[in-house]
Amino acid sequence: MAVVQTRGLTKLFAKGQVGAVVDVDLESREGEFLVLLGPSGSGKTTLLRMIAGLEEPTSGEIWIGGVLVNDLTPRQRRIAMVFQSYALYPHLTVLGNIEFPLKARRMPKEERRRKAQWAADLLGIGRLLGRKPRELSGGERQRVALARAIVREPSLFLLDEPLSNLDAKLRASAREELEQFQKKIGTTTIYVTHDQVEAMAMGDRVVVMNQGAVRQIGTPADVYDEPQDTFVAAFLGSPPMNLLEAAGVIVGFRPEHFHPSAALPADEPVLKLAFRAKHEEYLGAERILYGVLEGGPFDGEKAVARMSSTLAARFAPDVVHDFAVAKKDLKFFDREKETRTEPRALA
Amino acid sequence: MGLKNFTSVLQNPTFLRALRNSFVFTVASQILVLVGANLLALVLKNAFPGRRFARFLILLPWVAPVSIGSIGWKWILDSLYSVINWVLVRLHLVKEFSAPMWLGEPKLAMMSVILVHTWHMLPFATVIILAGWTAIPKDIPEAAAVDGAGFFRRMFQIELPMMLPIINVAVLFGVIFTFTDMTVIYILTRGGPYDTTQVLPSLAFFTGILGSDLAEGAAISIFLVPLLVAVAWLMLRSAHRAEVV
Ligand SMILES: Nc1ncnc2c1ncn2[C@@H]1O[C@H](COP(=O)(O)OP(=O)(O)O)[C@@H](O)[C@H]1O
Ligand SMILES: [Mg+2]
């Protein structure tokens, strides 16, 4: 087991350009499932590749298990990586693929077979050992890639969007399985994804990245409930947090905290808002209501409310309804720096 | 032309020697081409200052007509004015009057035509192998590196096996082209000395066209057909069996 630490890690692909990864300080914990979450192009893959030794940092340090690894080759870092494309060796069988890392370590043939069998059985692909990668389905390929990664019992696991090539249904079950699997083997894992549902579901902690920089690190609940800046607030949640400007601050509240006044307890301190409904989306388990705020501090701004479909109330379009947000659910952000600030009274 | 043409051809020691020479010439030059092209492709696939110029230089022999290139080589290897010998003499590596006759001694002559033909074939093979290398998705050798494979294991267990079908095609073309070509030999040695560099195509040409024995010349060239068919069949079969991706 090993922890990974980066110090001021930066990657510039071309001089004078903004960095693909900018000054990243990160520290994983023993056996942790750490998720790198960010939109496409935010530098997640580049960060992962630097840790693996496939990309040379422009500046900064990488430590794995207490050793500075900047000058070590990928081979010397002794980590395992699952690529987004799986990168299976097309000319080798499944067995050949799984055995390859052991062969590279010059493990004797018998032991190699035993280990490969163990890894294959663990992932339920024992009967596929004789097949070539092109004879496998997407889900089976992903398992082969995982088996190839765990077979040498690495101290660190890097996964780059391993589920993004699977169809939606398979993805949900694979996510669950992968999570169980990681708990079982207990290997420190860094997992890259742009899918917030995956990040929230799987991560012990989530690292939210944007434009190469880390915006926030915390448990899924931390980053969702206490976003440190407007980017994190807007990136997480679907639909995202309502961010409205008033009295020199940005005020945020999640759509699920924006209720009809009647639904809130009478003794709860609330901010009352007049909400003109525009249109509603029915999503089965829940309803999303889009509209415009009228009067008060946010006159004319758009807002979104999200409520359970079991709520009986109906909201006729183009009618003003009484809505409210509990004061404790309001988040305040500095208007210039877009970072969290103290709550304050709204006019 | 009849059966007797074939029997007379088969009994002719010059023919048998040409047949053997054809094999030596083809196999030796193709091995050299294969190794050389892989080494060149290995160098050229990485970015380095001057790579464009290096690629241009290597492609040159392919773009230039073989005849012109071979005439240049004839001058370089010529018994009287050999540039190589001039350099060797100046470096005191050989004595002025016992300098090697590159095209005049059987072994040296064969070596010379093989090397010049290799020089001519190299660019095409390099380009094909370079294309094969470029076609390998970058993350596969990267995965191998993370899996702990060093340079040679990556090359011999991952990259070259993945390129096998393409290498097969390069070799197939190379063999067929070499087996039927006589340009280099015609210009450098005309099959000499004493037919020691004579190959089937040049022998057919000298017998059939210059020697005016068209029937016998045709009989000689017909021997090329089954050999070429066999080679093509072998190569296609192995390409099929490799079945990569
Ligand atoms: N090899 C490269 N050369 C130049 N720019 C690159 C290279 N790889 C990535 N980038 C750039 O770096 C940024 C981050 O990319 P990447 O790490 O792939 O993001 P992500 O994985 O979060 O989608 C992007 O703007 C991308 O265009
Ligand atoms: Mg990526």
CA distances from A147 to A100, B48, B93 (A): 11, 37, 60
Residue A189: the pLDDT is: 94
Q: In this structure, are strands A205-210 and A213-218 parallel, antiparallel, or unpaired?
A: antiparallel
Same domain flag for A244 and A167:
no
Tell me if A346 is assigned to some domain: no
B163 phi and psi, to 5 degrees?
-90, 0
Q: How far is the CA of B87 from the centre of ligand 2 (A)?
A: 57
CATH homologous superfamily of B2-51+105-244 equals MetI-like (1.10.3720.10)
The contact set of B with A (CB < 8 A) is 137, 139-140, 142-150, 153, 157-158, 161-162, 164, 242-245
Residue A120: pLDDT over 70: yes
Other C-beta atoms lying within 10 Å of the C-beta of residue B167: 21
Nearest to A315 by CA among A324, A305, A325: A305
Identify all chain A residues contacting B136, using CB atoms and an 8 Å cutoff: none
Check CB contact under 8 Å for A83 and B143: yes
How many DSSP H helices and E strands does chain A contain?
9, 18
Same domain flag for A251 and A220:
no
Whether the CB of A13 sits within 6 Å of ligand 1: yes
Residue A34: pLDDT over 70: yes
Same domain flag for A196 and A324:
no
pLDDT tens, position by position, A264-314: 888 888 899 999 999 999 998 999 999 999 988 888 899 999 999 888 788
Instruction: Give me the CATH number covering residue A187.
Output: 3.40.50.300
Report residue A184 as tokens. Answer: 């079982």
From A41-45, A279-283, B6-10, B111-115, the region with the lowest mean pLDDT: B6-10
Residue B55: pLDDT over 80: no
Query: Looking at ligand 1, which atom is closest to the CA of residue A46?
Result: 17
Tell me if A263 is assigned to some domain: yes
Report residue A306 as tokens. Answer: 């999200």
pTM for the whole structure? 0.82
Check CB contact under 8 Å for A105 and B148: yes
Tell me if A136 is assigned to some domain: yes
Provide mean pLDDT across the span A139-154.
Answer: 90
Instruction: Give me the CATH number covering residue A244.
Output: 2.40.50.140
Q: How many residue pairs bridge chain A and chain B with CB atoms within 8 Å of each other? A: 65
Same domain flag for A198 and A263:
no
Same domain flag for A299 and A209:
no
Residues 6+ apart with CB under 8 A from A129: A93, A94, A95, A98, A116, A117, A120
What ranges do the domains of chain B cover?
2-51+105-244
Nearest to B70 by CA among B177, B181, B170: B181
Residue B1: the pLDDT is: 53
Tell me if A235 is assigned to some domain: no
- Own/partner long-range contacts of B55-61 (Cβ < 8 Å, ≥24 apart): B58/B122, B58/B123, B58/B126, B59/B123, B59/B127, B60/B123, B61/B119, B61/B120, B61/B122, B61/B123
Same domain flag for A257 and A109:
no
Residue B52 CA from chain centroid, whole number: 25
Q: Report the alpha-carbon distance of residue A287 to residue A260 in Å, rounded.
A: 13
Residue A275: the pLDDT is: 93
pLDDT tens, position by position, A169-219: 888 888 888 888 888 888 899 999 999 999 999 999 999 999 999 999 999
Other C-beta atoms lying within 10 Å of the C-beta of residue A164: 14
Residue B79: the pLDDT is: 63
Q: Whose CA is nearest to atom 13 of ligand 1?
A: A20
Same domain flag for A195 and A321:
no
Q: Report the alpha-carbon distance of residue B185 to residue A132 in Å, rounded.
A: 46
Around ion ligand 2, residues with a beta carbon closer than 5 Å are: A 45
Nearest to A177 by CA among A207, A218, A142, A206: A142
Q: How many domains does chain A have?
A: 2
Same domain flag for A101 and A209:
yes
Q: How far is the CA of B118 from the centre of ligand 1 (A)?
A: 42
Same domain flag for A11 and A35:
yes
Same domain flag for A209 and A280:
no
Domain boundary among A192, A225, A258: A225
Same domain flag for A28 and A149:
yes
Structural domain boundaries, residue A27:
4-225
Nearest to B40 by CA among B10, B61, B26, B21: B61
Same domain flag for A201 and A277:
no
Residue B244: pLDDT over 50: no
